[in-house]
Structure 1
Amino acid sequence: MGFSLSIPITGKIKSSTFPPQDSEYITASIDFPRGTPFAKRVKITRDVEEHIKATDGFMNYSFFNPNSLMMGGRNQSLYIGLGDPRNRIITSFDVADNLREKFKDVEGADIRIKQQSAGPPESDFPILFQINGDNLKDLKSAAKEAGDYLKELDDVRLVNDGVEGETEPQIKVELDKKKMKDENVVPVVAAAVVRNIFAMESVAKIRPEDTGETINLNLLTEKKFRDSNNDLEKTKVPKTDGSTIELKKIAKITEVNELASINKYDGKRYIKVQAELKEGTEAASVEKKINNFLSADKLEDLGLEKDAVSYRGEVMANSEALDKIFIMLLLAMIFVYIILVAQFNSFFQPLIIVMAVPLALVGVFPALLITGNVLSFLANVGVVALVGIVVNDAIVFIDYANRLYRRDNDFVQALITAGQVRFKPILSTSITTIGGVLPLALVSDFWGPIGMAIIGGLAFSTIGTLVVIPAAYTFLHNASGSISKALGR
């Protein structure tokens, strides 16, 4: 029993909320680095198309947004049709692997192939975590190290560290407070001058008589003065005495490559690191490696707080789903117990009947492991459904044993007779239920986990009803007798 219940903890059963299926199509996503020229984006897209056409199992393809390239988009997504899985030998998993191998030759973009899951849309990256902090330089350094570490792992196929390919050329202006004080320049005025160079400033509003609509007049520095350091350095900044001074004398102006956007969460900056895994790789095992690499000491060495990393990937989604399933399972057991208390007019006998539920769990995990099914959302739904199914055999057994005991006043003989008389009905009920669920487990990969969870749990709980339940009932009966004698009743 201990071994069976420990199977999910050991990781022998793969866990996924909605595992990918052999589907009628897959999708390809092309991500271009910032600043990729239009001609290069077109060439890469054409190369991807040629690889798709030359792949076995391919039927047709189309773009989700054909105008994305023309509009300067950094992402191009394709739908790749494969046809009905029942009418082809090669699976969508094989097609995806073949394409990934071919796309290794395509340079200048990150190309991802995504298998379709049977559930709602999920994140493209099973591994996804945020590195939070106030210092952007430290964040970039930590994200780069985490990305480099992930690239070295054999289980990881593609990595986006949130830094590489996300930067673009920028002009950085750092005002020097000491120099501004020495030159009698008001910092707010200097900052306003710099801001007005790069951003439009509303200077007036007009309302033509013929239309009556208000029109904003905005002032923006010409592009040639914004793109040239030399012109920017010569920008005049007013002083308190009415004269002006060149910007370069009170500020440091440099050309840098910085992140195109800064993301914030709970008031702190963060950089998102993402990774795609090879088929069959458990996200939990990779996330554990990352957690060990980005230890509290490591984060402190990088200038970040000990809890600077927060995970948002597949593991977190699975954990949240399992938490909800556990609450549902607990509520189901409570409701069943309350109903049984009213039926048996006892608080103790329903506890014995509800024991059939953990007995069923002992059979669920080996069944999933042997058949190669995943501990998915539907498998967990099957576990919850077992609460209402497996108690039926225990109810039949306990109820009949109680009637025999009240009639003959021989507890042990009542249990033996109940086992003999109810053996065939209990076995028949379980076999017919298993027979009804069996097509569900065999016909579809989608419904397979829920079917096998019910079959495995019901099979083991049937044995438990005839062996463990009588033993537990005997123990409870003897214990209650001893307590009654001790109290002098």
Structure 2
Amino acid sequence: MVERNARKRSAQEIIEDIRKKIPHIEGATIEFVDMGGEMFGGGGGPPINVKIFGKDLSLLKRISEQIASQIKDVKGIKDIDTSLRHGKPELQIRIDKEKAALFGLTVYQIGQEVRTATQGRTASRFREMGEEVDILVEFRNEDVKDIKDIENIPIVTPLGKCILLKQVAEIVLTEGPVRIEREEQNRKVSVTANIEHRDLGSVVRDIAKEIEPIKKTFPSGYSIEFGGEYEQMKETFITLGIAFILAIVLIYMVMTAQFESFVHPFVIMFTMPLAAVGVIWALFITHKAVSMPALMGVIILAGIVVNNAIVFIDYTNRLRKKGLEMCEALVLAGKTRLRPILITAFTTILGMLPMALSRSQGSEMRSPMAIVVMGGLFVSTLLTLIVIPLIYTIFDDLAQKIRVRTKKVIHGDEGKNRV
């Protein structure tokens, strides 16, 4: 496709238009792959990947077909496929061990004879001028061109008698898997699908509800896991969650050193829940899902939203040191620092606006991040001027009461010692 800024339709809209125009072709499989997932650390595969683990391939195939049929009506699901749906034709030689034992033959011996007939066996090596060439003994192609020829492959018994393969084995034409997938040494079959007009998390939840009755019928040793982009999303959320917690701890430690207090930094940290209100509101209004770029915006926001509260609390403490009462100091700090707080917040919000409204290439990564920062900072700034003074008053009164009680306990102990 042409560059994003040179077209009016999104990739998803173009895919839907192409899907409608493609006629039904018997036996053909048509897939649409989002290469953007590969750019952002994904594998470039379908977003939905239901992994089924077990031992028996035929049972795994039946379960995968049941799941594919069960989830086809889930809203937003497209291009459902299974990794074992398309097999390759193969001949299976099913040896009757009892009959083979009567002729003194083992499965290995019969297998070696069949292999020699169909693939050949190295009988010797031809040496000339220091070079070796394998001498391969095998049947002619016209001698093993159909099932009848395979059935009539001669097998020599240990007693020197020659029998035919069909006397000790049954030959069946069937389909076998194109490939056998394994994960952590377990056989695996995958049911994959694409999604449209819905977020990945809600689709996976609906799929989990649909396949729950099927899971209850599983025999022992069979299980289901969700892989693909959903698995990567969970790992990303865990990593970013740890990073967010670490950011909060570091911010609190820095503010504790700055204010030389444990209470005032704790009051400032209340700006983060206020910012969370703005984040949820912004994502809801813009119809954006919680994604990796959005969570990165939350981590960035954690370091920005505390600035307004730091300015407010720091100036309040300065006024109180000059002799003003707490309520007077809070009111005066609000009046004096209102303009700097609003200017700082709105310059950041306006600076993020072009990124949030961008529709150029890569905007899928930048836009959610900017929207999160803008929404969180806007709501946090407005609520900081109302909520933070209230929380400051509550915690300051609480700290004052604790100090008074502590002094009473200490002086009471000293009085007893003097008596």
- Name the TM-score, length of structure 1 as normaliser: 0.75
- Correspondence for 1:471 among 390, 395, 404: 390
Mapped partners of 1:225, 1:473: distance in 2? 94
- Correspondence for 1:182 among 99, 102, 113: 102
Return the letter of the residue paired with 2:307.
Answer: N
State the match for 2:70 in structure 1: 149
**2:180 is the alignment partner of 1:262:** yes
**2:203 is the alignment partner of 1:293:** no
Mapped partners of 1:373, 1:152: distance in 2? 24
- Tell me the alpha carbon deviations over residues 69-115 of structure 1, each in whole angstroms, 9 at most, x when there is no partner: xxxxxxxxxxxxxx355455555444322211011344441223345
Q: Give unpaired runs (5+ residues) of structure 1.
A: 1-24, 26-82
Q: Is residue 401–residue 414 contact of structure 1 (8 Å, CA) maintained in 2?
A: yes
Deviation, 1:151, is 3.2
**2:354 is the alignment partner of 1:402:** no
Equivalent positions of 1:311-350 (< 5 A) are: 311-350=226-265
Return the letter of the residue paired with 1:457.
Answer: G
How many percent of aligned residue pairs carry the same amino acid?
Answer: 29
State the match for 1:373 in structure 2: 288
Q: Is residue 309–residue 388 contact of structure 2 (8 Å, CA) maintained in 1?
A: yes
- Correspondence for 1:416 among 318, 331, 346: 331
**2:162 is the alignment partner of 1:275:** no
Mapped partners of 2:295, 2:334: distance in 1? 31
Mapped partners of 2:317, 2:120: distance in 1? 86
Return the letter of the residue paired with 2:189.
Answer: I
Deviation, 1:226, is 4.2
**2:306 is the alignment partner of 1:385:** no
- Correspondence for 2:60 among 112, 130, 139: 139
Q: Is residue 203–residue 219 contact of structure 1 (8 Å, CA) maintained in 2?
A: yes
- Correspondence for 1:208 among 119, 128, 142: 128
Deviation, 1:133, is 0.7
Return the letter of the residue paired with 1:282.
Answer: D
Structure number with bigger Rg: 2
Q: What RMSD over aligned residues (CA atoms) do the two structures have, in Å?
A: 2.5
State the match for 2:381 in structure 1: 462
Structure 1 residues 93 and 353: alpha-carbon distance in aligned structure 2, compared to 1, 3 A threshold? same
Structure 1 residues 352 and 103: alpha-carbon distance in aligned structure 2, compared to 1, 3 A threshold? same
**Count of equivalent residues:** 402
State the match for 2:112 in structure 1: 192
Deviation, 1:455, is 0.8
Structure 2 SS opposite 1:110: coil
Return the letter of the residue paired with 2:214.
Answer: K
Deviation, 1:280, is 0.3
State the match for 2:225 in structure 1: 310
Q: Give unpaired runs (5+ residues) of structure 2.
A: 411-419
Deviation, 1:272, is 1.6
Mapped partners of 2:95, 2:295: distance in 1? 59
More helix by share: 2
Mapped partners of 1:139, 1:431: distance in 2? 57
- Tell me the alpha carbon deviations over residues 233-278 of structure 1, each in whole angstroms, 9 at most, x when there is no partner: 222323232323322222222111222322222222221211123x
Mapped partners of 2:83, 2:36: distance in 1? 26
Mapped partners of 1:99, 1:408: distance in 2? 74
- Correspondence for 1:485 among 372, 395, 404: 404
Mapped partners of 1:305, 1:459: distance in 2? 53
Q: Is residue 263–residue 269 contact of structure 1 (8 Å, CA) maintained in 2?
A: yes
Q: Is residue 126–residue 313 contact of structure 1 (8 Å, CA) maintained in 2?
A: yes
Structure 1 residues 90 and 274: alpha-carbon distance in aligned structure 2, compared to 1, 3 A threshold? closer
Return the letter of the residue paired with 2:337.
Answer: R
